[in-house]
Structure 1
Amino acid sequence: MTTSLSPDLARLSDPAVRPDPYEVLRALREASPYTDPASGILVVGRRADCESVLRNPKVSSDRRGAGITKVPQMPNLMNLDAPDHTRLRRLAGRAFKPRVIEQWRPRVEEIVEELLQEIAAGGDSTDLVSAFAYPLPVRVICEMLGVPREDHPVFERWARSIAYTVDPQLVPGQLTTGVEAEVEEARAGFVGYFSRLIAERRNDPAPRADVLSELIAAEESGDQLTETELIIMCILLLVAGHETTANLILNGVLSLLRHPDQLELLRQRPELAGAAVEEVLRYDAPAQMITRIAREPLTVGDVEVAAGTPLLVLLGAANRDPEEHRDPDTFDITRGDPGHLGFAAGPHFCLGSVLARMEGAIALNAFARAFADPVLDTGALSYRPHVAVRGPERMRVSFREIRTGARRPGGAGEALDG
């Protein structure tokens, strides 16, 4: 893939577009599917076409070496095809079954309450990125992997650096050598850390109720994850679990603040938290786009696609397709429309979706219940530089008070069964 793009497609990386990319996405969706004349990328934005691509066995997720991302990727669940992907997902999936994740609900609620107490002690305003949305998933996934609390801050820094590896290379020079060096430093740090942690577990196999132990013990027909596979799986779970969930929470809180009627509705009806998460995943999803490669010739819409063609699947555009979603630009937590692509679709449907949904529902309920008279500082709102992963870099909110110690049950779990 070249880094030369037509102006319409290049606008996705324009910092001025980042606060609200949906007009650009609408135009791309309406023109799609089409081949970008400058780069040869097939742009896919209509809901039906996006899902068809994600489920098509003629489409490959292995973009390594294709030039789609500037930073080389390690082989993992996101960029492998069957049979390797099928095997890894089957083994790793044992640690992410709904019954396993549900056991973590009380601890997630405790962490949320701890964060609220810290915010309450800090005055009448806070940056929800650094004080709430980012620490929550980092603490959760680190505890699930058995990482001690004192190591959580460095894990958060490493995870934020590696997030650059999922961005498509839409604009020349977007990734500086400094960013690439940070990514490599983070990778080396993760590999060294998890190598030691896995070795400690194998030398001391005492029963532990965490995901790392489940991954080490996962076995089917004599097959187990190798040490390298375990390390890469831990890195993926931490980075993907951290980025997706943090931005799901932030985009959800931002949508609630911008739609006070919906915030009040959630405050009065906490059982809608699960539905609110689904609406955020549709309306302003953390995952905005996915890249694929045509493994064989195929047809997308009325476009014939040659083998080897890169495809840009615009999930953010598909989730607002008026052919599939009524009033798609309206944020409505009572919508009852689960047909979004917020976690993709097909064989690569997000492995951690159950955990992300649970954390998101608990966090949104907590925000609605705990923050009295919250006000967004619109002038301080800024976004991260990514185009594939969407979420604020800084989001300051003032409030009259924080109501702590009054968790209300309900809502966070009921909507997860679908």
Structure 2
Amino acid sequence: MTAVGVIGGTTPDRRAVISVLRRLRSPEGQSNPFPLYGELRTMGDVVPAPWGGYFVTGFEACSQVLRGRNWLAPDFAWQERQPDAERWQAPATREMSHTLSRLNAPAHTCQRRSLGNLFDRRTIEDMRPHVEEHVTRLLDGLDEELRTHGEADFATAVSEQLPIRTVGRWLNIPAEDHPLILDITHRQVHAQELLPTKSELAISAQATVQLRSYFTQLVQQRRANPGNDVLSHWIRHWDDQMPDDRAGADRVLYHLTMFITIASLETTATLLSNAVCFLLDDSTRWDWLRRHPDHVDDAIEETLRYDPPIHLNSRIAADDTVLAGVPVAKDTMVHVLYGAANHDPRANGDPGTFDILRNGTHLTFGGGAHYCLGAAIARLEAHTLLTQLLKRFPTLRPASSPVYAPRMVFRRVTSLRVTT
């Protein structure tokens, strides 16, 4: 075994773990899961899961898993080795296993290199004026709705619309298709939850068929009418890489385009809604940030720390190892709890306080080979939105508490009603 860290912990009662998980699924747990994450962390930095494997709760232990080369994504090869392989046969699960998030080297390395530095400084600067235009138009619509009805749902009117408009323009996806892609994404994500039900898997399966149909056709249409857009560049690259396997190239292109599109939607929308929610939760924060707009980026980082859009990710031990003093056998799955790690008081003092000037640390974008491809564009969208919002809506305030989807992995604010 190779020791990768010793942080310490206790041996928890299985019933205590189940109790925390049950409460995390409740409406109260969805609205504020962080005290429950703290309760789980008191059981240890590496806590046995009731069904096998482990939850990783401590910041340092989570960081080691995300960045360590001896921790792998749960790819097809791992799934086929499991005694309960049927559990991994759901269509949506298998479809996502072809995407970057579930690939390991060398396949992951090859696809990642084909993308280059996807959102480098030049690309971000090229996208900036378009993001600013999207934000202006969305806030025009918000202003009209507030004037007409007295309140509006910020989550549906703005947060969900900005990411699809941004990635849609970047990939040249027709605007009339944006509502369909959002709807499919909301339904497909069930399969990526921790313990999806059969009905949720059925919903995801139907959405997966629609995703495959839409993005396969998109690749075919772009191949027939190439332009100067990103997808056209990818087509040229993979045709060069696989000159004798056009069907294989198209499969890679489909999975890349589909994954990058849907991965950029709900996560960024949640970041945008969370930032507005936490700033409006205390009117002094909103007023202070209006007077100190140079700290908008600090507010974004604190939002990412305080309530990450993804609360859980999974990795597999490549070899027998030890994590935080706990022996972990090869092929064992561990669940990295971003929400618990970011609220570890050893990494961020007084973690339950939302502090714009914290200058803290977080693992929200992951680490290592699977570090989030879209981190820069998500930050650009959040910065642009908050900057304009603070100027245009000085008296904005919440009209009701935010409503969250009943999930444990992907956070989603389904409603955030605001007024002035």
- Tell me, yes or no, if the aligned pair for 1:94 and 1:218 is still in contact at 8 Å: no
Q: What's the counterpart of residue 144 of structure 1?
A: 170
Distance 1:69 1:125, change over 3 A: farther
- Tell me, yes or no, if the aligned pair for 1:6 and 1:36 is still in contact at 8 Å: no
Distance (Å, rounded) in 2 between the aligned partners of 1:218 and 1:273: 38
- Tell me, yes or no, if the aligned pair for 1:163 and 1:239 is still in contact at 8 Å: no
- Tell me, yes or no, if the aligned pair for 2:155 and 2:414 is still in contact at 8 Å: yes
- Tell me, yes or no, if the aligned pair for 2:193 and 2:408 is still in contact at 8 Å: yes
- Tell me, yes or no, if the aligned pair for 1:33 and 1:303 is still in contact at 8 Å: no
Distance (Å, rounded) in 1 between the aligned partners of 2:235 and 2:119: 13
The Cα shift of 1:369 comes to 2.0
The Cα shift of 1:36 comes to 2.4
Secondary structure of the structure 2 residue equivalent to 1:49: helix
- Tell me, yes or no, if the aligned pair for 2:242 and 2:249 is still in contact at 8 Å: no
Q: Which runs of 5+ in 2 are unaligned?
A: 1-14
Distance (Å, rounded) in 2 between the aligned partners of 1:221 and 1:235: 21
Which aligned runs of 4 or more in structure 1 are off by greater than 4 angstroms?
A: 66-71, 219-225
Q: What's the counterpart of residue 357 of structure 1?
A: 379
Q: What's the counterpart of residue 411 of structure 1?
A: none
- Tell me, yes or no, if the aligned pair for 1:253 and 1:367 is still in contact at 8 Å: no
Secondary structure of the structure 1 residue equivalent to 2:27: coil
User: Which deviations, in whole Å up to 9, do the C-alpha atoms of 1:354-399 show, x marking residues without a partner?
Assistant: 11111111112222222232221235x3111221111311111111
Which AA in structure 1 matches 2:176? Answer: E
- 2:29 paired with 1:17: yes
Q: What's the counterpart of residue 11 of structure 2?
A: none
Which AA in structure 2 matches 1:24? Answer: L
Distance (Å, rounded) in 2 between the aligned partners of 1:258 and 1:164: 29
Note the aligned Cα RMSD (angstroms).
2.3
User: Which deviations, in whole Å up to 9, do the C-alpha atoms of 1:249-290 show, x marking residues without a partner?
Assistant: 011111101132222222122222222211111011111111
- Tell me, yes or no, if the aligned pair for 1:287 and 1:388 is still in contact at 8 Å: yes
Q: What's the counterpart of residue 134 of structure 1?
A: 160
Q: Pick from 96, 108, 121: which aligns with 2:144?
A: 121
Distance 1:265 1:69, change over 3 A: farther
Task: Give the share of equivalent positions with the same residue, in percent.
Answer: 31
- 2:99 paired with 1:73: no
- Any residues of structure 2 matched to 1:266-305 within 5 Å, and which? 266-305=289-328
The Cα shift of 1:101 comes to 2.9
User: Which deviations, in whole Å up to 9, do the C-alpha atoms of 1:62-102 show, x marking residues without a partner?
Assistant: 25536489652321111111111111111123443332232
Q: What's the counterpart of residue 333 of structure 1?
A: 356
The Cα shift of 1:32 comes to 2.3
Secondary structure of the structure 2 residue equivalent to 1:308: coil
Distance 1:362 1:69, change over 3 A: farther
Distance 1:188 1:10, change over 3 A: same
- Tell me, yes or no, if the aligned pair for 2:273 and 2:413 is still in contact at 8 Å: yes
Which AA in structure 1 matches 2:312? Answer: M
The Cα shift of 1:311 comes to 0.6
Distance (Å, rounded) in 1 between the aligned partners of 2:53 and 2:22: 12
Q: What's the counterpart of residue 311 of structure 1?
A: 334
Q: What's the counterpart of residue 366 of structure 1?
A: 388
- Tell me, yes or no, if the aligned pair for 1:319 and 1:341 is still in contact at 8 Å: yes
Distance 1:374 1:41, change over 3 A: same
- Tell me, yes or no, if the aligned pair for 1:33 and 1:42 is still in contact at 8 Å: no
TM-score, length of structure 1 as denominator length: 0.86
Distance (Å, rounded) in 2 between the aligned partners of 1:9 and 1:69: 25
User: Which deviations, in whole Å up to 9, do the C-alpha atoms of 1:16-47 show, x marking residues without a partner?
Assistant: 31100000001112322344263222111111
Secondary structure of the structure 2 residue equivalent to 1:336: coil
- 2:231 paired with 1:212: yes
Which AA in structure 2 matches 1:393? Answer: T
Which AA in structure 1 matches 2:389? Answer: F
Which AA in structure 2 matches 1:328? Answer: P
Q: What's the counterpart of residue 250 of structure 1?
A: 273
Distance (Å, rounded) in 2 between the aligned partners of 1:136 and 1:54: 29
Secondary structure of the structure 2 residue equivalent to 1:6: helix
- Tell me, yes or no, if the aligned pair for 1:92 and 1:218 is still in contact at 8 Å: no
Distance (Å, rounded) in 2 between the aligned partners of 1:16 and 1:343: 26
Distance (Å, rounded) in 1 between the aligned partners of 2:49 and 2:139: 50
Which AA in structure 1 matches 2:387? Answer: N
Distance (Å, rounded) in 2 between the aligned partners of 1:112 and 1:100: 18
Range moving further from structure 2, 269-278 or 282-291: 269-278
- Tell me, yes or no, if the aligned pair for 1:63 and 1:292 is still in contact at 8 Å: no
Q: What's the counterpart of residue 375 of structure 1?
A: 397
Secondary structure of the structure 2 residue equivalent to 1:17: helix
- Tell me, yes or no, if the aligned pair for 1:46 and 1:321 is still in contact at 8 Å: yes
- Any residues of structure 2 matched to 1:225-264 within 5 Å, and which? 226-264=249-287
Q: What's the counterpart of residue 55 of structure 2?
A: 43
Which AA in structure 2 matches 1:125? Answer: E
Distance (Å, rounded) in 2 between the aligned partners of 1:14 and 1:120: 34
- Tell me, yes or no, if the aligned pair for 1:142 and 1:148 is still in contact at 8 Å: yes
User: Which deviations, in whole Å up to 9, do the C-alpha atoms of 1:219-261 show, x marking residues without a partner?
Assistant: 6994698211111111111111001100000111111011322
Q: Pick from 172, 179, 185: which aligns with 1:159?
A: 185
TM-score, length of structure 2 as denominator length: 0.86
Q: How many residues align?
A: 387
Distance (Å, rounded) in 1 between the aligned partners of 2:319 and 2:294: 46
The Cα shift of 1:197 comes to 2.1
Which AA in structure 2 matches 1:359? Answer: E
